[in-house]
Amino acid sequence: MARHTELERKYDADADFVLPDLEVRVGAPATHTLQARYFDTEDLRLAARGITLRRRQGGDDAGWHLKLPAGKNTKREIRLPLAESAQDVPAELVTLVTAHTRGRPLIPVAEVETRRVERPLLDEDGRVLAKLADDTVHAHPFGRNGGEVRLMAWREIEIEAVTASDDFLAAVGDHLLDAGAREAAARSKLARTLETVPATARPPATGTAGDVLVTYLGKHFAKMLAYDPLVRLADHDDDSVHKMRVAARRMRSLLRTHRRLIEPARAAGLETELKWLADALGEVRDLEVLRARFERRLAQLPDTDQEPSWLAGMAAEELRARDRLREALSTPRYLALLDSVDAFLAAPPLLDRRAGRAARPETAKAVAKAWRKMLRRHAHAAGLPAGPARDAALHRTRKAAKRARYTAEAAAPALGSPAKKLLRRAERLQELLGAHHDGVVAAERLGELARRPGTPAIEAFALGRLSEREERDRERPLRDLPAAVKKAAKRKPLRRLGAS
Eight-state DSSP code of residue 260: G
306: Cα separation from own chain's centroid: 35
Contact 99, 230 (CB under 8 A): no
User: What is the torsion angle, in degrees rounded to the nearest 10, for the CA atoms of residue 20, residue 21, residue 23 and residue 24?
Assistant: 90
Amino acid, res. 247? A
Which of 190, 70, 63, 95 is CA-nearest to residue 137? 190
Q: Which residues of the chain have pLDDT under 70?
A: 84-86, 144-149, 196-204, 303-305, 499-500
H helix or E strand, kind and range, residue 191: helix 189-194
All residues at 6 or more sequence positions from 88 whose CB lies less than 8 Å from its CB, including other chains = none
Eight-state DSSP code of residue 133: E
Q: Residue 347 and residue 423: Cα distance in Å, rounded?
A: 29
All residues at 6 or more sequence positions from 471 whose CB lies less than 8 Å from its CB, including other chains = 439, 443
H-type alpha helices, 383-416: 388-415
Note the pLDDT tens digit of each residue in 414-453.
999 999 999 999 999 999 999 999 999 999 999 888 888 8
Q: Does the predicted model carry a pTM greater than 0.75?
A: yes
Looking at residue 201, what is its pLDDT? 47
Distances (CA, A) of 198 to 41, 44, 285, 348: 12, 7, 34, 20
Phi, psi for 22 (deg, rounded to 5):
-90, 0
- In sequence order, what are the beta bridge partners of 57? 35
Looking at residue 206, what is its pLDDT? 72
Which of 214, 213, 247 is CA-nearest to residue 228? 247
Which of 435, 440, 443 is CA-nearest to residue 481? 435
All residues at 6 or more sequence positions from 59 whose CB lies less than 8 Å from its CB, including other chains = 32, 34, 116
Q: Residue 128 and residue 40: Cα distance in Å, rounded?
A: 34
Looking at residue 54, what is its pLDDT? 96
Contact 231, 246 (CB under 8 A): no
